[in-house]
Amino acid sequence: RTDALVGSMCKTGQEEQGRDKYLQHLHVLNHIDLLIIVNRLLWKNEIYQCLVNENENQTHRDSS
CB 9 within 8 A of CB 20: no
Block means of pLDDT (10 residues each) for the chain, length 64 residues?
55 67 75 82 80 79 67
Q: What is the pLDDT of residue 21?
A: 79
Q: Where on the phi/psi map is residue 46: left (φ > 0), alpha (ψ -120 to 50), or beta?
A: alpha
How many domains would you assign to the chain?
Answer: 1
The angle subtended at Cα 23 by Cα 32 and Cα 5, nearest 5°, is: 110
Q: What is the pLDDT of residue 64?
A: 61
Phi and psi at residue 14, to the nearest 5°:
-95, 60
pLDDT at residue 41, rounded to an integer: 85
**Where in the sequence is the domain holding 29, given as residue range(s)?**
2-63
pTM: 0.35
